[in-house]
Structure 1
């Protein structure tokens, strides 16, 4: 048993949301492999049995976190595609919404970067369940307007690598310091370059 127990007066759904929130932050910071379930319980102020009863074991918690991440990301795309126009401006709108979403929710790219590093390697279904549907949707929307011959699969991966890398790692300044998206100057520079990159890679520059 952990030490905290159930907090009196909290509804189960409130406790469940707290567990998922704390687990998300821990998995994003430490990775799945580096986060014992007791740490999640301690962060949520509950005992381990309560966590297991409400969400499940660590694997189930992780899959819940990744599904919640997927749902939030899908909602962002829903909003972006509702405003999409089949031209360069429409593509850049989607790219901007993607960048802004990651800036507002840095735990999302952090979770995926951990998977790049073979975190939770025994949980193999995550990409197929929660990444592929989103990527396929973007391809379906972009494909009719990109230049013929563009390898859309590779191009989208390059965009993802760039955005995740900037949001999580930042850019190196001439003096050797890292500046990320909270720095307005470097965010503007990155966004302008991202627009150029997307335009050229997708053949949207005329």
Structure 2
């Protein structure tokens, strides 16, 4: 049997891949065990049942995302450039870890509806961190929450689905040109939404 830590991580890695690809409802514990190269009993020993696996995957995803945001805020300056740097950092995180946005995308599509507390536990605190910072530097008439949600919707959508190029081929996180265009565009959208000067758009 694998050591406790390495066995658990191996299982969570497999569960993350499957939950992000198929959703909670489309994934079974047996599928996770097979993807991890283990039997169902070993999975249960290390992590528990399917719900336990999902909660552990979402907790790990949240901790990873929170660490990335906290690192970005460690060098944050309370001005337009600082806010746009946070947008860049968030986009970079999502595009480098597309499985994490994919986990949340499945929830948006009514996946795992019996696990109802995760948005309140994980999404709201991170949203609060960003919206509190933004409210200090943007005009009062800007709907800060919707600006932040626009970044989330666009970034998650691009990370999971990409865009169609002129030939009808899908270009996404593995296409450097498409990524560069996306990053420029989302930065410009936010800059325009908060009334930033042209030179801040980058």
When normalised by structure 2's length, the TM-score is 0.94
Equivalent residues in 2 for 1:1-206, closer than 5 Å? 6=1, 10-205=2-197
When normalised by structure 1's length, the TM-score is 0.92
Q: Aligned to 2:136, what secondary structure does the other structure show?
A: helix
Q: Aligned to 2:119, what secondary structure does the other structure show?
A: helix
CA-CA distance at 1:48 after TM superposition: 1.0
Deviates more, 1:94-103 or 1:45-54: 45-54
What number of residue pairs does the alignment pair up?
198
Runs of 4+ with deviation above 6 angstroms: none
Aligned counterpart, 1:3: none
CA separation in 1, counterparts of 2:180 and 2:30?
41
Check conservation: 1:23, 1:61, Cα contact below 8 A. yes
CA separation in 2, counterparts of 1:185 and 1:35?
33
Structure 1 unaligned runs (5+)?
1-5
CA separation in 2, counterparts of 1:68 and 1:168?
19
Q: Aligned to 1:145, what secondary structure does the other structure show?
A: coil
